[in-house]
Amino acid sequence: MDELALSIVEHPAPQLLIDAIPGAGAGKVRRFRELSFALADGGAYLAIDGADADQGEDSLASELTRLMSLSGRATTTDEWFDLRRRDIIASVSSDGPAVLVSKSGRHYLSLREELTTPVLRRSYGTSWGAELMVRPPEKFRSKAKVTANVQAPSEQFPDELHVPALYLREYVDVVCAPRQLVVRGRFVLPATFHHPSVPRPQNMSFPGSSKYFIEIDADRGEVPLLAGTYFHLDSEYPGHFGHVFTEDIAKLWGWDIAKRRHPELRLLLSSHEESACRPAPFEVEALGAYGIPESDIVCIDHPVRVQCLVTASPQYHNGSVVYVSVRLSDTWARLRRGLRSGTGKLLERIFVARPGVQRSCVNGSRLEATFARHGFNIVRPELLPLAEQAELFATAPVVAGYAGSGMFNMIYSEQPGTRIVVASEEYPARNEYLISAVKGDDFHYFSCPSRPPVDPLSEIAPMHHDFEFDFDRDGDALEKLLAST
């Protein structure tokens, strides 16, 4: 299927695709489900033997009937993709065993990292750009020592992390749209996704229509040219503190290499405000600490055609595929050196609290009182300047708190320490563990029962549900841990 999809999209979007591969049934259905998206808007998909009566429910005709009957909202991933397939069907007709489907919508093939260079070379020769560097895959054994109240801690916190090959590329003449979209011709490039290594990469602003294809409009019509060379540090979540200090900075390993090649290089990202095209103030400060002045930062709030774009694979991946490169510690150290003020109160034990907006601990006051009784200072990092946050976390030997953005300041730690994380059982992110895996911390994790909203129609995602620390189950273990740190 990979080769079929690639062979089609290496040419202009066809007006007609004919599946004349002998045989009917499941093969015909699988090919339609993926390859119909390669058609031009208004094109048609003709399947010979698509209405084979001998195949019954396995025929393409039966599959089309099922898709056209779908209604309502998706509750599973498979249902979501089925609805996307239903939406592209403009009409269906048949003549004997042949089925003809008219297709609606414009779709682009999503390229995986390992396929990008060979596919673009086959499609464009050398005019697409160049592969500047490939860092080979690495197998990394976690340095963290883990204790957790979950049934299979090694599954949630794997001891061995597999970092795929990381690519530094430059592309000529690409379209970039706010919230990370990068398109070259009929291809959506890997830099579009903050989780590029999962089986089905998704961008929340440009949801995928199938395993291979995405429906977008960013390349439709005239797009203004952005002359010069830019380093892509855009995000699906512009101006989001947590994403900036995990996924986004994990691409900066390529900045110096690209800057030497292109001294005029500037950095490209999306505006975090709808009312003003500018980066978040903390982004300017953090990038300045890394050595990228504000004059080198360009924000976009609409699609642009970039003359030359440099992209780097992330050294950090916190999705269904989890990994972190040990080399990311170099970026963390550089940020720490650039941010630390050399002033501020140094604390031995800190507990990172959270604002009560979502994913709140409903008995947080009792939990925080427990930590305070053991000498912990309750802090709210988001209320402090970045320099003070870096100073506070750089030297604190014991850091505890609720899983989330505030705890990501662990990247500034100079030495391994004790880290205690409290999180909802529905919260899948493993950011704190990945940081500890590189730092070599004593990592302690308490998973807590979720407390879903009372309203059954609430659309709050389970990962954002409130939770409650279970003192009956975990209270004694917590007391012993705090007494021993």
Residue 289 CB contacts under 8 Å (≥ 6 apart), including other chains: 334, 335, 337, 338, 339, 386
Domain 340-484 classification at class level: alpha beta
In whole angstroms, give the CA distance from residue 283 to residue 241.
8
Rounded (10°) CA dihedral 80, 85, 91, 94: -120
Q: Please report which residue ranges of 20-100 form alpha helices under DSSP H.
A: 26-35, 60-68, 77-88
Q: What's the CATH fold of domain 2-105?
A: Rossmann fold (3.40.50)
Q: What is the pLDDT of residue 216?
A: 82
Residue indicated by tokens 């550089």: 334
* Average pLDDT over every residue of 316-322: 95
Phi, psi of 282, deg, nearest 5: -70, -30
pTM: 0.93
In whole angstroms, give the CA distance from residue 232 to residue 426.
32
Q: What is the pLDDT of residue 133?
A: 98
Q: What is the pLDDT of residue 54?
A: 64
Answer for the pair 427, 321: CB distance below 8 angstroms, yes or no. Answer: no
* Average pLDDT over every residue of 275-297: 95
Task: Read off the pLDDT band of 56 (50, 70, 90).
Answer: low
Q: What is the pLDDT of residue 350?
A: 98
Taking the CB of residue 357, how many other CB atoms lie within 10 A of it? Answer: 7
pLDDT tens-place string over residues 11-20: 889 999 999 9
Question: Which one is predicted more confidently, 341 or 180?
Answer: 180
In whole angstroms, give the CA distance from residue 279 to residue 292.
13
Decide if pLDDT at 300 tops 60: yes
Task: Read off the pLDDT band of 49 (50, 70, 90).
Answer: confident
* Average pLDDT over every residue of 150-175: 96
Decide if pLDDT at 467 tops 60: yes
pLDDT tens-place string over residues 240-254: 999 999 999 999 999
Taking the CB of residue 292, how many other CB atoms lie within 10 A of it? Answer: 21
pLDDT tens-place string over residues 64-109: 999 999 988 888 888 989 999 999 999 999 998 899 999 999 899 9
In whole angstroms, give the CA distance from residue 261 to residue 243.
28
Q: What is the pLDDT of residue 221?
A: 63
In whole angstroms, give the CA distance from residue 100 to residue 221.
29
In whole angstroms, give the CA distance from residue 398 to residue 421.
11
In whole angstroms, give the CA distance from residue 72 to residue 56.
26
Q: What is the pLDDT of residue 355?
A: 87
Q: What is the pLDDT of residue 366?
A: 98
Decide if pLDDT at 457 tops 80: no
In whole angstroms, give the CA distance from residue 111 to residue 134.
17
- What's the token pair of residue 126? 């050398």
User: What are the domain boundaries of the chain?
Assistant: 2-105, 108-141+159-323, 340-484
Q: What are 47-50's contacts with CB under 8 Å, separation 24+? A: 47/18, 47/19, 47/98, 47/99, 47/100, 47/101, 48/18, 48/19, 48/20, 48/97, 48/98, 49/22, 49/23, 49/24, 49/97, 49/98, 50/19, 50/24, 50/94, 50/97, 50/98, 50/99
Q: Which of 22-31, 40-49, 382-391, 418-427 has the lowest mean pLDDT?
A: 22-31
Give the rounded percent of residues in the chain with a pLDDT score beyond 70: 97
Intrachain domains 2-105 and 340-484 with the same fold: yes
The SS3 of residue 12 is: coil
pLDDT tens-place string over residues 103-161: 999 899 999 999 999 999 999 999 999 999 999 999 999 999 999 999 999 999 999 99
Answer for the pair 232, 270: CB distance below 8 angstroms, yes or no. Answer: no
In whole angstroms, give the CA distance from residue 205 to residue 194.
12
**CA triplet 416, 420, 422: central angle to 5 degrees?**
150
Answer for the pair 412, 435: CB distance below 8 angstroms, yes or no. Answer: no
Q: What is the pLDDT of residue 222?
A: 83
pLDDT tens-place string over residues 199-241: 888 898 887 888 889 988 755 568 999 999 999 999 999 999 9
With residue 402 as reference, give the H or E element that holds it: strand 398-402
Task: Read off the pLDDT band of 459 (50, 70, 90).
Answer: confident
Decide if pLDDT at 192 tops 70: yes
